[in-house]
Chain A
Amino acid sequence: MKAISRTLFSTLLILASLAATTLRAQDWVHTGTNMGNDRIRLAAADFKPVGADPQTPTLKAAFDATLYADLANAGIFDLVSKSMIPQAAPGAPQEINLAQWTAAPSNAAMVAFGALSAANGRLVVYGWLFDAHNTANPQVLSKQYNEDASQDMARTVAHRFADEIILRLGGGINGIAETKIYFVSSRTGSKEIWEMDYDGQNQHAVTHLGSISLSPRVSPDNSRIAFASLGRDGWAVRMYSLELGRIVSFPAGTAGGSNQSPAWSSDGTKIAFSSSRSGDPEIWVADSNGGNLRRITSFKGPDVSPTWNPRSNAQLAWVSGRTGLPQIYTMDQDGANVQRMTDGGYAISPSWAPNGQLLTFSWNRKYGPGAPGGQDIYVMDIASKRWLQLTHEAGSNDFPSWAPDNRHIVFERAIGGRSQIWTMLSDGTEQHQLTQTGSNFMPNWSWK
């Protein structure tokens, strides 16, 4: 009897599952924790040069180096060393032998490869990304680019291809290879706003005001930069149009007192900044055209350096000195629900992560003469107030700013009175210095 009922039960189960199989119009995947959470082992082959144009070798060199650096910087790959990849450079899917790439020493799980040619002033690049372990359906990505043949364009195409790979394998988060970093540099004599690529290439001045300009913040659509500038009436928040190449009007930022540290909301409609027009420096919010100005804090002591929660645009973090030394606080955009985030020391320069969950800021936890430690960059999980120290015993670190991918942070590090711009991953690893000449500070990572 028991045997019969067991058989009946399993038959029913099989029938039910078969019915489910036919009914379902979509695929199923079954997966769980502790499965492939490591970095992806990725090999970036040197691209195959096609044709005999004399420009090809130099463009190929720029392309290969940029692609490799972009993928190495992404923070999600375990990139195969160039010395370990197979010698033959495949230029097309039919030329690649995946077994060579999966074998030791490269042990690649993914391979990026392709061909590059320069002809008649045009640069043509074909790029592929193959899943090396999937011999039946290896293709993950295939791209073609046709641009002007120049060094800059070769680098741009490499950035675009790297971003495609990162987008595809990085869980839908856009790469940052085409983003910019804005910063202040005094290398021309006066403190002006400068711009560079995310990897430190292509550095050039944006403003030429001959005055002192500080804390640049680029708008979410990359069309304008808000910054603090010293003019005839003291410190004012001013606006520079990158499209027009000149200063444009921002009336809210000029009326009396000291106006500093502007911050864009992620929808580009509002700007928060600090102004002492009412006495104490307080946080004010205006529309991005300079209208609808309103004050949202009224505490004793200075309130400066606002930053919006880019996820909701409904909260702000800022620095308040109401208890003496500056501390990081958060509040709703109407000034309600104030919460203190840091429990002591000297905490400044907050920047809110694009995913809305994390804050990064500069913190000297044991502030005072002879106290151990220094000004370092920290990351804090806002919900739990748990934190992680990212920099250790290397100069004085300040002005951290999140990259749009949530994985990178740019910051200023001063060693021996000279400050330079550095980047790192958001766990503090892979620190790279981007600027070398002059004094460079207050970096801001563009939104896209």
Chain B
Amino acid sequence: MNGVLEGGEHLERELVPEPVAKPAVGSLLLHAGLAGGLVLYGIIGGFIHHNFWGSPGAGSAIQVSLVSSALPLPADRPPNENVLSTDTPSNAPAPPTPKAKQAIDETAIPILGKQKKQQAQTAPKTPQHQPVQDNRAQYGEQAGSSMARATSQNGSVGPTSVSDGDFGNRFGWYVDGINRKMATSWYKPEVDPHTPRGARVFLIFTINRGGAPSDVRIDRSSGSPTLDRSCQRGVQRVDSFGNLPPLYTQSTLKVSYYCEY
């Protein structure tokens, strides 16, 4: 009996609901308070932050890419480590002097019985293509030689099929000037980065006596519309390449120029 009574008491105790409402409300209030505090801190903190650091966006989302390609100055060169000579580097040093050949002693008596070593017969070397020493454009070539290149290489060297006159030989400095000017006026970042390296677009334009370019047109497309357009824009950006040399008697100069990505 006692056991039954104890069991009934226990059941009663089990059935009485625990007082959870109060702690739950307290917990809710506490969390709401914490969240509210965080939001308030964010707002006030952000407000103070902006006051201290200028207007929103300062120093974060801005593009840090350079404008230097637009500057009308030659590209920077690496610093020179030769402290003894000059602040600015020189061109490549002179090539080494060829090794002196061992002199053959004509008075030496040949040893009998000893087979003279047959010198390896060197086939007459075919003339190797020598890279051009100075970094100049290949201008003013003879018509014949450039024709051969154009036909044998299926025109892969570009529109250098004909070049009459010797403007490049006489006024190499002016051609260098065109290169320098174009180097600063052609903006490579305008080209789609998917363009394959080494892609070339060939342009043709005319320079008048005052140095202004005109009739800019694509002679051979690179296959990349962005490269074609950026190169064309590069020429159009140039006001003047400088007056044509006074000793040059023609009124205009035709230029074939390529931009290589």
Q: Which of B233-261 contact A (CB under 8 A)?
A: 238-243, 245, 248, 250-260
Chain B residues lying within 8 Å of A36, measured Cβ to Cβ, are 134-137, 176, 179-180
CB of B256 within 8 A of CB of A29, answer yes
Question: Which chain B residue lies CB-closest to A21?
Answer: B164
Which of B61, B206, B245 has the most chain A CB atoms closer than 10 A to its own CB? B245
A160 CA / B258 CA spacing, docked (Å): 35
In the complex where A30-B256, A371-B53, A379-B71 touch, is A386 in contact with B65 (Cβ < 8 A)? yes
Q: Does B72 contact A (CB under 8 A)?
A: yes
**B163 → chain A, closest Cβ, in Å?**
5
Q: Does A70 count as interface, using CB distance less than 8 angstroms? A: no
Q: Is the CB of B67 within 8 A of A381?
A: yes
**Is chain A's binding surface mostly helix, strand, loop or mixed?**
loop
Number of interface residues of A (CB under 8 A): 85
Q: How many of B's residues come within 8 Å of A, CB to CB? A: 92
Could you say which of B63, B140, B172, B176 contacts A385, with CB atoms under 8 Å apart? Answer: B63
Residues of B within 8 A of A34 (CB): 260
Interface residues of A in 80-139 (CB under 8 A from B): 80-81, 83-84, 103-107, 109-110, 131, 133-134, 136-137
**Distance, CA A31 to CA B137, complexed state (A):** 5
Does B70 sit at the interface, judged by CB under 8 A? yes
| Among B57, B74, B240, B245, contact of A39 (Cβ-Cβ < 8 Å) | B74
B176 touches A40 (CB 8 A): yes
Of A38, A131, A172, the residue contacting B77 (CB under 8 A) is A38
A132 to B161, CA, bound (A): 29
Does B138 touch A at the CB level, under 8 Å?
yes
Binds B, one of A12-20, A190-198, A226-234: A12-20
Contact of A13 among B67, B143, B150, B171 (CB under 8 A): B150
Main secondary structure of the interface of B (DSSP, over half): loop
Q: Pick the contact of A105 from B75, B85, B259, B260 — CB < 8 Å?
A: B85
Kindly identify which residue among A32, A134, A344, A370 contacts B56, using a CB–CB cutoff of 8 Å: A344
> Does the CB pair A136–B169 fall under 8 Å?
yes
Whether A436 is near chain B, meaning CB under 8 Å from some CB there, is no
A29-B137, A368-B52, A407-B72 as given contacts; A171 in contact with B181, CB under 8 Å: yes
Q: How far does the Cβ of A33 sit from chain B's closest Cβ, in whole Å? A: 5
Distance (whole angstroms) from the CB of A167 to the closest CB of chain B? 7
Residues of B within 8 A of A28 (CB): 162-165, 167, 253-256
A44 to chain B, nearest CB (A): 13
Question: Is A26 in contact with B173, judged by CB distance below 8 angstroms?
Answer: no
Give bound CA distance, A194 to B173, whole Å.
Answer: 40
B221 part of interface (Cβ distance < 8 Å): no
Q: Contact at A426–B91, with CB atoms within 8 Å?
A: no
Interface residues of A in 361-393 (CB under 8 A from B): 365-371, 379-381, 384-388
Neighbouring B residues of A14 by C-beta, 8 Å: 147, 151
Binding site for B on A (CB under 8 A): 10, 13-14, 17-18, 20-21, 24-41, 75-76, 78-81, 83-84, 103-107, 109-110, 131, 133-134, 136-137, 140, 167-173, 323-325, 327, 343-346, 355, 357-358, 365-371, 379-381, 384-388, 406-407, 425-427, 429
27 pairs, CB–CB < 8 Å, chain A vs chain B:
A17-B143, A20-B162, A27-B248, A28-B254, A29-B168, A30-B160, A31-B137, A31-B255, A33-B260, A35-B137, A36-B136, A38-B75, A39-B77, A80-B86, A109-B134, A131-B173, A137-B170, A171-B181, A172-B177, A172-B242, A343-B58, A344-B55, A344-B62, A358-B70, A368-B51, A371-B52, A386-B65
